[in-house]
Amino acid sequence: MLSKAVQNAINEQINAELYSAYLYLSMSAHCAASNRPGSASWMRVQAQEELGHAMKFFGYVIDRGGQAILKAVGQPPTEFKSLLDIFQQALKHEQEVTRKIHKLYEIATKENDYATQVELQWFITEQVEEEKNAGEIVQQLTMIGDQAAPLFVLDRHLGMRAGGK
């Protein structure tokens, strides 16, 4: 059985993961409208991953005899300055998600909830990958600058990420 503190923290994380999906869908829509189909596809895949994370947390609460309580999901931004801005915001967002998961781990530790600590190990590892992926794209976009041909090539490369349609 989950303690109230752990259940509440996981429910907050479910909301954060759902917001992440909304954010990436908003970024995808902006990329699509800006004729960056590869980046739009990459962001759709990212949104699907975030939904998967929310469902993993949701299932965990249920499996532990808790109650998943869903809250309203905030509206994400819809305007972005550039593709670099989008990925910088994505990186910043992933860093914030990492902080939230670390805080959740601290709560599970304080509550002596070993099962939740084990479950959170997967998310901690996942966040390392999330930050790495977004960070690498930010570095590439920074190197490219406003050069049209390299931006086109990078966009096509980003579109090769599986699961985007």
Second CATH level (architecture) for the domain 4-158: Up-down Bundle (1.20)
Q: The pTM is what?
A: 0.94
pLDDT at residue 165 greater than cutoff 80: no
Token digits for 157? 């490369």
Q: What is the pLDDT of residue 163?
A: 62
pLDDT at position 161 is: 84
Each residue of 19-60: pLDDT tens digit?
999 999 999 999 999 999 999 999 999 999 999 999 999 999
Domain range list for the chain? 4-158
